[in-house]
Amino acid sequence: MPIVAAYAVPHPPLIVPAVGRGEERAIQATIDAYEEIARRIAAHAPDVLVVCSPHAPLYRDCFFVSGAQRACGDMSRFGVRDGALSLPYDVELSAEIRRRAGAYGIPVTGPHEPEDQLDHATYVPLHFFLPAAPDARLVRVGLSWLAPADHRALGRCIAGAADALGRRCVFVASGDLSHKLKPDGPHGFAEEGPAFDAQVIACLAAGDFEGLFGFDEAFCAAAAECGLRSFQMMAGALEGVPCDAELLSYEGPFGVGYAVAAFEPAKQQDEEAAAADPVVALARASVEGFVRTGRPIALPERLPDELTRRRAGAFVSLHMRGELRGCIGTIGPTQDSLAAEIVRNGVLAASEDPRFAPVRPDELDALSYSVDVLAPPEPVADASALDPQRFGVIVEKGWRRGLLLPNLEGVDTVEQQLAIAKRKAGISPDDADVSLQRFEVVRHTAGGKAHDARA
């Protein structure tokens, strides 16, 4: 998984004790939440911290992605010279992000000097998080005046680049909320301020990433918000990844909204479940290996006997956010083993299903997998021997043949099952002069258990 966790955090300088000098106690809930995130980051042991900062170089028509070798920074602009930070950039990952962004038409720039200076919206999170991941490298990303969709797209590029290079990344979306919460705050009060904060924290608490893209531009400007585009980029990086969302804190005693939210991808649990079922794990490996390299994978060693000593037809199905993304299968065995059958059909489902474009590398983390292993079909005299929940069906007339798997959503009757199978074969649904076969299926899913397709 490229993004092992993501966190939305504010960046008030005074939570750095040398800057706050006691004032930080007024936002202790924010500090406590920061410390909780640091503990979680330590447990994730990331290779890279990707920080999206509103105060990194900001351009109207392109994004900043760090290109230097090393980052340094302190809080001297806030009267503090102690506590300087210095850490290496992940130059390879930054370059891959820029390459992918360019391929998608997203304009990106970045300095290539040996060293550059951290902005405070990056420094503040690193002050808390770097001790939890002392060996992590940094990628720093800026915002732009481009559309929210472009911010989401760059987030996708970040996740795809991390995946391609095998990085374990924590994504940090640095951003305050409204700056207009109180008349005595830094920017005064506007009624849009509290309204904006209420809507954003509701989205963060619920993990409603789509809700982050429904804000009116004039409303955001009136609220004097800071972090929305950081959160939108984070949404792109997490796109398609089931997450457990948690709002750890929200407060605004100084007239600026500070929210801390955590997004721990649940996909890791799905991967562990898939690994528990070697059939699903092999299908996943076949698709991911082919999409990333353009070549089918070699059969892994030490596969269980059910995969190496058995021959059977199998269908590999790919889904993305609940929608079919590809499905190819064989009625009977065409390869030397069930394992080879699954690898072949996984490749074909990702690349040659005529209903879909080939799967792209940036889609891999959003895919879920199922594998249907077919028992040998048996002929039946008529439709009375069929059951769409228990048996799949094969209809044949001459050279035409159509197959439908069992236990499909929306297929509740034998009549529906036969009509669909006939249409797939190019046979009229009213044509009764067909031969029928039925077959049973064992369905393997990311739930980790093989089960009869009736379940």
Condensed to tens digits (0 to 9), the pLDDT of residues 360-395 reads 988 888 889 999 999 999 999 998 999 998 899 999
Specify the pLDDT at position 240.
78
Is residue 422 within a helix (H) or strand (E), and if so which, with residue range? Answer: helix 414-425
Task: Identify each DSSP E strand in 20-114 by its residue range.
Answer: 48-53, 63-64, 70-73, 85-88, 108-109
From 255, 274, 276, 381, select the one nearest 318 (Cα to Cα).
274
SS3 9: strand
Phi, psi of 264 (to 5 degrees): -100, 110
pLDDT at 245: 94
Give pLDDT tens digits for 277-311. 889 989 999 998 898 888 898 888 778 898 999 99
Say if residues 250 and 197 touch (Cβ distance below 8 Å): yes
Label residue 230 exposed, middle or buried (CB < 10 Å: 0-12, 13-18, 19+). buried
pLDDT in the model for residue 454? 37
How much is the mean pLDDT over the chain? 90
Query: Which residues are CB-contacts of 271 (< 8 A; sequence separation ≥ 6)?
Result: 1
Helix (H, G, I), strand (E, B) or coil at 436: strand
CA 395 to chain centre: 39
CA distance 353 to 328: 7
Percent of the chain with pLDDT over 70: 95
What are the CA-CA distances from residue 344 to residues 293, 308, 325, 336 (Å)? Answer: 15, 14, 17, 11
Q: Rounded to two decimals, what is the model's pTM?
A: 0.62
d(CA 358, CA 338): 24
pLDDT at 268 over 60: no
**Residue keyed to tokens 């993004």:** 3
pLDDT for residue 233 is more than 50: yes
More confident residue, 371 or 2: 371
Cβ distance 14 to 181 under 8 Å?
no
